[in-house]
Structure 1
Amino acid sequence: MNTVDEAPRTRRGGRGSRRELRSAIDTTMLPALKRKLPLVEPMDAAQIEQIDRASMDILEDVGVIFRDPQAIADWKSVGADVRDDDRVHLDRGLVRELIKSIPESFTYHARNPANNLPFGNDYSIFVPMTGAPYLRDLEDRRRGPTLDDLASFHKLSHMLPAIHSSAHHIVEPMDHVVAHRHLRITYSSMKHSDKTFMGMTTSPKNAEDVMDMCAILFGDEFMETHAVVTGNCNGNSPLVWDETMLGALRAFCRRNQPILCSPFVLGGANTPASTAASVAQLNAEALSALAYTQVVRKGCPAIYGHYLSTVSMRSGAPMAGTPEISLMNFMIGQMARYYGVPWRTSNTLGGAKTFDAQAGYESASTMMAVLMAGANYVWHSAGWNEAGMHCSMAKFVVDAEQCAMGYRMAEGVKWGDFNEALAAVRDIGPGGHYLGHPHTQANFQEAFFMPELFDNNSIEQWIADGSQEITERALKHVNRLLASYEEPKLDDAVDEALCDYIARREREIPAVDALNNEH
């Protein structure tokens, strides 16, 4: 029986042993998911128009605060009605005209062209969680993360087939000064994976640094016409966009890079205690930011975003996996398609404190709704638990396998071998079995998804194998993956230029607080 400690030792057997270990693990990234199942659309045409009308009423009558002098000047330049210095009242005609220039689809370009991704319309991509201030590590201990921990998650993202991006700060590297983290995080995303990734938007200048590093990796001219990275702009619900997020949004839009325009919904706390009314407010918030991207640069890609949770009226804590979250996802999908823009949601969210049954139920119900809602950018698809306070290494790989299962389901029914499979019924006849039939032998690996991390053996076999529960099995798999990881090397000149840029910017950016004084 293998143990957690045995997997890394296999690597010491030499190049032949390492090659054999790697050959047992297929790390080829799945293409972008092209969904073929019907979508769940609970609203009829009249209800879609009702939400649209309510949202436009909010934009015109209530207004949205843009707490940023540059944004106010931009809005005034296109004729928006600005009152009380920073409250923007947006005419519905202006909003509709602006969002018309947002591309309905585009292609994400990775440094490895084999990992390019069509995006929008019927395509979905899975992106891991980000922002966790803690992790549950290879011993399932909850602790503060380091840059090495972040690198491990980027390596796992690179190796897990259903994960399409290395994201950015999957976990927060607490061993680095806050002011310099965005540089190290971006480099780790670029270095340890050749998939697409996300860019930090923790300040306007940080976002500009990310754009500069992307220009080193891809070239300025290439970025002018190709999407290579994704930013995120979070709103302060209800109805406020702040200077930090708007400055970062401008940095991405000016370089023609996609930005997620994401209201942060805590249903019942910063939205009305109503599913439909919450969607109307969220829709108004998202539209106001989407429209602003086109004020900054007409035609730049932008993504209708949101983060959804409902709030427990007993404790005030955010909840995951609730029915209303699923309903809101269905409705937001309909609204995004109504406006003709791609949209983002969150996946496999858990509020549980460990990788237990609660985490599994919450994550599974969320993912099923996300797939049936037709989301394009499926963020937080691996590792999220404890309401985002930690990323679990065990949950990370199991979530990724669940995404692969969801991927298979959303591809729809495959009919290519229908006649050959039906012919087997005549060959076998009543009372036989199909295990030895040529069609079964030719198709058994592809016919039905076979999870690696779930145990479907008999109880006797499970006991004989050490009575391992899912967390133990998953952590062994993490060890196995990390032991077989092979870095997708950056071009030497590009790597040197990136490191030089980081060194220069770290000299220029004050390190404000010593590490032991950071909070």
Structure 2
Amino acid sequence: MSTEPRRTRSGGRASRQSIRSIRDITMLPGLTRKIPLCEVMDGAQIEMIDNASMDILENVGVQFRDPIALEDWKKAGAKVVGEMVYLDRGLVRDLIATIPSDFTYHARNPENNVRLGGPHSVFVPMTGAPFLRDLDDVRRNPTLEDLAMFHKLSHMSPALHSSAHHIVEPYDHPISQRHLRITYSSMKYSDKMFMGMTTSPKNAEDVMEMCAILYGEEFLDDHPVTTGNCNGNSPLVWDETMLGAMRAFCKRNQPVLCSPFVLGGANTPASVPATVAQLNAEALSALAYTQVIRRGCPAIYGHYLASVSMKSGAPMAGTPEISLMNFMIGQMARYYGVPWRTSNTLGGAKTFDAQAGYESATTLSAVMHAGANYIWHSAGWNEAGMHCSVAKFIVDAEQCAMAYRMAEGPRWDDFDQAIAAVSDVGPGGHYLGHPHTLEKFQSAFFMPELFDNNSIEQWSADGEKEITQRALETARAMLSEYQEPKLDEACDEALLDYIARREIEIPAADELNQSY
């Protein structure tokens, strides 16, 4: 989280502290990476993965459990036997060649538009947590109010470029109607871009209708404004729910993440290169289908990566193999010329402890050097995604700001001034009072707000607060300062009218009485 001031002033310690106390929530522009990529495969190995993936598509096949998709593939010239689709590599290459290599997301606030693809990256919070650790660090079931809280924190975190969608599951609302309230919350409490629910084809269509209300039908047709996620069932299965949602998004020219769900060693071979080859085949089959639906619509090479403990079968985060696979997948996506998605600060720890920090930092570093574009699950993820932690959310968001600064590369704009200061100060002096230092003290080095770098005496005098407590206090302060970016009144009324009508049409059943 950046709290750099809106203006630069010189002066003493008191004035500097006063400046630093101003919270600047202005969203950082989409990241343009300027650091080298980590590429662990040579050209021959990239071609080895590509060839293995194409062999899988041609000879093993992919199961499309959806009659509409099967008919679409037949019309596109694929070999279809029952639910099995066998894709010729020439057909696959022809289709994925029409996916845009980069595009611009349009936010409700145009100042928050961001570019995606190539060197352009965005950070997106986690989604899908069935529990949260709240402002008191208590693990419990979330509500719509909790979801709104996370959308507000997303809005106020400069390095987060999206409010996502169901960061946590709002259990106080019926499952069948939940997607409506989740989408509205994403739209209402932040004017950044957001994600759209793909929990069913009809739910995806509802999201598209709400986007048309917010942006206008014509604007929606040629401007990406939201993102859907379609998970494959590894190994080599795409189901009717995901494919129907994919069609709803692609027909309206909205991008989807084509995301095989990889548990390395469980639903893929116990081998990093072979896992990547299978994942690559699965992703290519879905990417190609987006272009069968609508040629030229934006799409994103996706995945969810976890390796599995051979002791317990549990998914693991922050392991070396996950980093290696991210490096390799980045190379494959660039080989095909398509943007790609990864998962970011994942933790398997049950609390916001050292394990959570190490796991998250390891993955964050790898993701930045892998050159990922859509960097999802960038804030809050812990307990293998079972809960979103408010404390971790705040610290993760600041970690993304630090990673953003690193990925920008060195700044050379004041090099001559800084070198001149060496002559001014000379041997044995110090730079603290030099004009260049006073001008640059805020921006020369990233100063984390949530890490305590004081002496132990000062730390003790301040109450011996550990990072969880500091993060929760910061979250409370942010929420007390939050100002809602108001929706246009007519648009807000139209959205609420649509939700009210759909909630009448969609049965709520007895879901509110279910025990979770």
TM-score category of the 2 structures, normalised to the smaller one: over 0.9
* Offset, 1:160: 0.3
Between the aligned partners of 1:375 and 1:36, the Cα distance in structure 2 is: 13
Residue 470 in structure 1 maps to residue 452 in structure 2: no
Given that 1:348 and 1:363 are in contact with CA atoms closer than 8 Å, whether structure 2 keeps it comes out as yes
Between the aligned partners of 2:489 and 2:512, the Cα distance in structure 1 is: 31
CA separation of 1:204 and 1:342: change in aligned 2, threshold 3 A: same
Letter in 2 for 1:80: A
* Offset, 1:512: 2.5
SS of the residue 1:330 aligns to: helix
Given that 1:275 and 1:328 are in contact with CA atoms closer than 8 Å, whether structure 2 keeps it comes out as yes
Residue 27 in structure 1 maps to residue 37 in structure 2: no
2:479 corresponds to: 482
Between the aligned partners of 1:36 and 1:513, the Cα distance in structure 2 is: 53
* Offset, 1:134: 0.2
Given that 2:175 and 2:511 are in contact with CA atoms closer than 8 Å, whether structure 1 keeps it comes out as no
- The two structures have a TM-score, normalised by structure 1, of 0.95
Ranges in structure 1 where 5+ consecutive residues have no aligned partner: 1-19
2:12 corresponds to: none
Residue 399 in structure 1 maps to residue 400 in structure 2: no
SS of the residue 2:441 aligns to: helix
1:252 corresponds to: 249
Between the aligned partners of 1:22 and 1:460, the Cα distance in structure 2 is: 22
Match of 1:79 among 66, 77, 80: 77
Ranges in structure 2 where 5+ consecutive residues have no aligned partner: 1-17
Given that 1:196 and 1:228 are in contact with CA atoms closer than 8 Å, whether structure 2 keeps it comes out as yes
1:3 corresponds to: none
* Offset, 1:313: 0.3
2:8 corresponds to: none
1:375 corresponds to: 372
Between the aligned partners of 1:220 and 1:345, the Cα distance in structure 2 is: 30
CA separation of 1:237 and 1:138: change in aligned 2, threshold 3 A: same
SS of the residue 2:224 aligns to: coil
SS of the residue 1:174 aligns to: coil
Given that 1:253 and 1:296 are in contact with CA atoms closer than 8 Å, whether structure 2 keeps it comes out as yes
Between the aligned partners of 1:445 and 1:257, the Cα distance in structure 2 is: 39
Matches within 5 A, 1:169-188: 169-188=166-185
Between the aligned partners of 2:36 and 2:19, the Cα distance in structure 1 is: 40
Given that 1:158 and 1:195 are in contact with CA atoms closer than 8 Å, whether structure 2 keeps it comes out as yes
Given that 2:108 and 2:192 are in contact with CA atoms closer than 8 Å, whether structure 1 keeps it comes out as yes
Match of 2:158 among 154, 161, 168: 161
1:429 corresponds to: 426
Between the aligned partners of 1:330 and 1:226, the Cα distance in structure 2 is: 30
Between the aligned partners of 2:40 and 2:22, the Cα distance in structure 1 is: 44
2:11 corresponds to: none
Between the aligned partners of 1:167 and 1:134, the Cα distance in structure 2 is: 17
Between the aligned partners of 1:467 and 1:232, the Cα distance in structure 2 is: 42
Matches within 5 A, 1:405-444: 405-444=402-441
Between the aligned partners of 2:345 and 2:163, the Cα distance in structure 1 is: 17
Letter in 2 for 1:47: Q
CA separation of 1:21 and 1:190: change in aligned 2, threshold 3 A: farther
Matches within 5 A, 1:306-385: 306-385=303-382
Identity %: 77
Letter in 2 for 1:304: Y
User: Structure 1, residues 95-145: CA drift from partner, whole Å, max 9, x if none?
Assistant: 000000000011000010000001111011000000000000000000000
Aligned residue pairs: how many?
A: 499
CA separation of 1:22 and 1:198: change in aligned 2, threshold 3 A: farther
Between the aligned partners of 2:504 and 2:413, the Cα distance in structure 1 is: 60
User: Structure 1, residues 375-412: CA drift from partner, whole Å, max 9, x if none?
Assistant: 00000000000000000000001000000000000000
* Offset, 1:518: 5.4
Between the aligned partners of 1:116 and 1:385, the Cα distance in structure 2 is: 29
2:68 corresponds to: 70
1:191 corresponds to: 188
Between the aligned partners of 1:129 and 1:426, the Cα distance in structure 2 is: 49
Residue 46 in structure 1 maps to residue 44 in structure 2: yes
Letter in 2 for 1:52: D
Quote the RMSD (CA, aligned, Å). 1.1
SS of the residue 1:454 aligns to: coil
Between the aligned partners of 1:379 and 1:46, the Cα distance in structure 2 is: 30
SS of the residue 2:228 aligns to: strand
Between the aligned partners of 1:23 and 1:36, the Cα distance in structure 2 is: 30
